[in-house]
Chain A
Amino acid sequence: MMLSEQIIPLFVVIPLAGAFLISLLGKKVKLLPDMLGVLAGLILCILSILSVRLYNASGALTYSVGAWRSPIGIEMVLDGLSVFMLVTVNLVAFCIALYAVNYMEKFTAKWKFYTLFLLMLAGMNGVVITGDMFNLFVFLEIAAVASYALVAFGTERQELEAAFKYAVMGTVGSSFILLGIVMLYSYTSTLNMADMNSVLLQKGAGSLILFVSVLFLMGFGLKAALVPFHAWLPDAHPSAPAPISAMLSGVLIKALGVYALARIFYNVLGVSEQLSSILLFLGTLSMVVGGILALGQWDFKRLLAYSSISQVGYIILGLGLGTPLGILGALFHLFNHSVFKSLLFLNSGAVEYATDTRDLRKMGGLSQKMPLTSTTNFLASMSIAGIPPFSGFWSKLLIIVAACRAEKFGYAFWAVLVSILTLAMYLKVIKFAFLGSLKDSLTRVKEVPLFMKLSMAMLALICLVGGVLLLPNLYGAFLQKASQILLLGAEYGAIFIKG
């Protein structure tokens, strides 16, 4: 029992404690919600970066809750992939908490926002660090229920409708996941992921596994908004307040959907030929459909939401390739997409904050009035469209090269094509919102307050220099470790079982 392992449960404890303290005291003390929210974000961010160093120093760590030993008790695992996801989630969450200090002024119940926000964060961190199937489900539901409430936060007509749609689809998806977990439990009599993996290896995968894979694909695919299950996303993401849209699009669909999908398929069930071809197909479908639908949107945030579907398609495509390079590209793209998509949503929030509209046709010439917003928006757009030297270029390049290496030229072609589509849609945003002549109705628009500027600038900086993660030093420490864990595949169980 080393002291260093003690940091693992803190990723769940800190946001939970923050959430309940805010709901206890937030009504009376005016400044407390802001301070606690940002503070919790900051501490988690520092802890997650510490955990990278910790992981590099001592390898994968496991933590048995309540000192119950591994296959019986609940286990928390800190391995390369978890560390990677923790950094992504907490970095973005910190920036968003900072942004919300100013943005949420216009809503009355700020303490409720921070309570739900921290609960959602606790759920996501829990999903990432847990090593237990049922715990995964519980944390997933905590994050999901908090996000349903957050989508309905404005309690206006559209928000309620979107939240209801999202909640219904999300709950059905969770039921599928639970059903899958039940079947796996009845087959293997264990809930620990590593243990389950080794039992499955011994018993051999029957037709049950195929059925369970389909259930998980439906459940997590719904959370990740892959195309046949994407209907909730374009409604829910634009309806939420901007920080929450950023959180939902930036990290929630990844932590709950993509991460869980990757973890379970690669490390627990093992990837079969059929499964990877399904993933490839779904990824490409999401990519293309999301891209085409996004192009036709005039609502700023709705366009971003469709573009999220398209970008998640890239990640799934990379995962489906199953080659080291493909997985590496997928994870790198996941990180990059979290950063620039949250930045874009924060930009759209800033525009909405200043001009009170989300309709691109009513904007124009905003770059004169809001220089910082338009600059950061430009950076993020170029990055997401894959223009060198921004971070998005490198990750897309990796995915496309991986597709070519695997001799899947058709998929590579689609990836390039959608990249051009992405460029087109973001040029549209830049042209209509920020360039051109200033509309008369917008002459009194002002730049947004300090904290919003600060968080946007931070994210833009990460966007700009994100490519350095591929430099040998950082690459070995961070990205490579994460993709190695996924590549372990069937051996995953054997490594963690000894604890």
Chain B
Amino acid sequence: MIYLLCLVLFSLGVYCVLRKRNIIKIIVGIIIIEYAVNLFFILVAYREKGRAPILSSQTPILNMVDPLPQALVLTAIVIGLATTALLAAIAMRIYEKYGTFDITKIRELRG
């Protein structure tokens, strides 16, 4: 099953977020998680031998994939972009203040 690939990708991302110590790698992990979900969404809507859901003036389309998830995934990608940009900005500021990307050294808040 191709869905298994998404699962692997998703787990990879979660592993990356949980296990890595570098802030940038954590951000990459988050991006991987997001893309795994998006890919899964597109795959769910896929049909055998389906074609792109674009209206054409010549022939009527009989066998097209579900267009709604594609529109939604576009939105999800935009949201992902905003989050990633924000995270990157915060990461750069953290580097400015702490001088390191290692999360084990960035620990002022506890308790």
Contacts and interface: CB of A to CB of B under 8 A. Distances in A.
Asked if A and B touch directly (CB within 8 angstroms), the answer is yes
A175 interface: yes
B94 A164 contact: yes
A175 B32 CA distance: 11
A163 interface: yes
A182 B41 contact: yes
B24 to A, nearest CB: 12
Contact of A178 (B14, B23, B30, B37): B37
Interface residues of B, number: 33
Contact of B30 (A148, A168, A179): A168
Interface string B1-31: 0000000001000100100000100100010
Most buried by A among B75, B93, B109: B109
A235 B37 CA distance: 28
A75 B34 CA distance: 26
Given A160-B94, A164-B91, A302-B111, A145 B37 contact: no
Contact of B83 (A158, A167, A191, A239): A167
A161 B76 CA distance: 26
Nearest to B6: A179
A175 B37 contact: yes
B52 interface: no
Contacts of B41: 178, 182, 185
A421 interface: no
Contact of A158 (B86, B87, B109): B109
Contact of A157 (B10, B23, B26, B97): B97
Contacts, number: 84
Given A157-B97, A168-B87, A297 B37 contact: no
Nearest to A187: B44
A178 B98 contact: no
B66 to A, nearest CB: 8
A161 B79 contact: no
Contact of A179 (B23, B26, B40, B93): B40
A138 B79 contact: yes
A5 B109 CA distance: 47
Interface string B46-69: 000000000000000000000011
A379 to B, nearest CB: 28
A168 B91 CA distance: 11
Contacts of A163: 90
Given A160-B97, A168-B30, 8 more contacts: A134-B72, A156-B97, A157-B98, A160-B93, A168-B17, A171-B83, A172-B14, A296-B111
Interface of A: 134, 137-138, 141, 145, 148-149, 152, 155-158, 160-164, 167-168, 171-172, 175, 178-179, 182, 185-186, 191, 234-235, 239, 296-297, 302
Interface of B: 10, 14, 17, 23, 26, 30, 33-34, 37, 40-41, 44, 68-69, 72, 75-76, 79, 82-83, 86-87, 90-91, 93-94, 97-98, 106-109, 111
The 3 closest A-B pairs by CB, nearest first: A186-B44, A141-B79, A235-B109
